[in-house]
């Protein structure tokens, strides 16, 4: 549906989990991150909400919870980010040392409208810890491909003031080395998000 994120969470999870190895290289399979070995993630060069260049190297040694969306999204994005950050804040309260190693990141799939000033105001509504990134259309297309995110611009509805974006809606936790760990279950509520961070962020 136009304007509503294409919720391919289940399909994406199946594909990514299928790509993950079953064995553990000496580790118990129960300890293996669900997305270990999945071909998702990689380097990026974007612009942050303050208009400064930012790359994946700026977060070396940090865990990253990354979600793609756009600030003009009417429902899915704000709901997902609200749950993500509620879970993050509860995790920070319970484990401040571990939460200091985790950076929540929002990457826009609508660079035409999501300029740094727009993103700065948007991410601030969810908490000062949330980082907002944008870039050129080419830069966004490249990072979306690396992170297995699909998106498209929808024709403006008759009488509408602006267009909407369809996009896959899934938050993923990456480790300090940039490798994927697990899907963050924002659809299960803030506690599930907190529990996921507590399990994997060390």
Chain centre to alpha carbon of residue 101: 16
Instruction: Please indicate, yes or no, if residue 112 is contained in any of the structural domains.
Output: yes
Instruction: Please indicate, yes or no, if residue 179 is contained in any of the structural domains.
Output: yes
Count the domains in the chain: 1
Residue 26 scores a pLDDT above 70: no
**Degrees, nearest 5: CA angle 199-80-178:** 50
Beta strands 63-69; 102-108: pairing state: parallel
Q: Is 127 in contact with 96 (CB distance < 8 Å)?
A: no
Residue 134 maps to which CATH number? 3.40.30.10
Instruction: Please indicate, yes or no, if residue 169 is contained in any of the structural domains.
Output: yes
**Is 73 known to sit in a ligand binding site?**
yes
Residue 15 scores a pLDDT above 70: no
Instruction: Please indicate, yes or no, if residue 24 is contained in any of the structural domains.
Output: no
Instruction: Please indicate, yes or no, if residue 173 is contained in any of the structural domains.
Output: yes
Is residue 131 within a helix (H) or strand (E), and if so which, with residue range?
strand 131-134
What are φ and ψ of residue 151, in 5° steps?
-160, 160
Instruction: Please indicate, yes or no, if residue 33 is contained in any of the structural domains.
Output: no
Instruction: Please indicate, yes or no, if residue 32 is contained in any of the structural domains.
Output: no
What range defines the domain where residue 169 resides? 9-18+39-200
Residue 38 scores a pLDDT above 70: yes
50-99 confidence digits (pLDDT tens): 999 999 999 999 999 999 999 999 999 999 999 999 999 999 999 999 99
Instruction: Please indicate, yes or no, if residue 27 is contained in any of the structural domains.
Output: no
113-166 confidence digits (pLDDT tens): 999 999 999 999 999 999 999 999 999 999 999 999 999 999 877 767 789 999
**Is 167 known to sit in a ligand binding site?**
yes
Distance set, CA 2 to CA 148, 157, 160, 184 (Å): 20, 9, 12, 24
């Amino acid at each position: 549906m136009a304007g509503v994120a294409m919720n391919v969470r289940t399909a994406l999870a199946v594909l990514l989990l299928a790509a993950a190895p079953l064995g553990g290289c000496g580790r118990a399979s129960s300890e293996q991150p669900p997305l270990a070995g999945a071909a998702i993630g990689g380097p990026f060069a974007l612009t942050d909400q303050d208009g400064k260049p930012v790359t994946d190297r700026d977060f070396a040694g940090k865990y990253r919870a990354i979600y793609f969306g756009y600030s003009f999204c009417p429902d899915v994005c704000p709901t997902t980010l609200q749950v993500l950050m509620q879970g993050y804040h509860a995790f920070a309260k319970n484990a401040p040392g571990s939460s200091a190693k985790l950076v929540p990141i929002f990457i826009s799939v609508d660079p035409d409208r999501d300029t740094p000033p727009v993103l700065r105001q948007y991410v601030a509504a969810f908490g000062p810890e949330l980082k907002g990134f944008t870039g050129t259309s080419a830069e966004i297309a490249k990072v979306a491909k690396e992170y297995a995110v699909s998106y498209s611009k929808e024709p403006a509805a008759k009488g509408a003031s602006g267009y909407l974006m369809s996009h896959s809606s899934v938050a993923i936790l990456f480790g300090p080395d940039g490798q994927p760990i697990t899907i963050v279950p924002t659809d299960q509520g803030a506690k599930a998000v907190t529990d996921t961070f507590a399990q994997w962020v060390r």
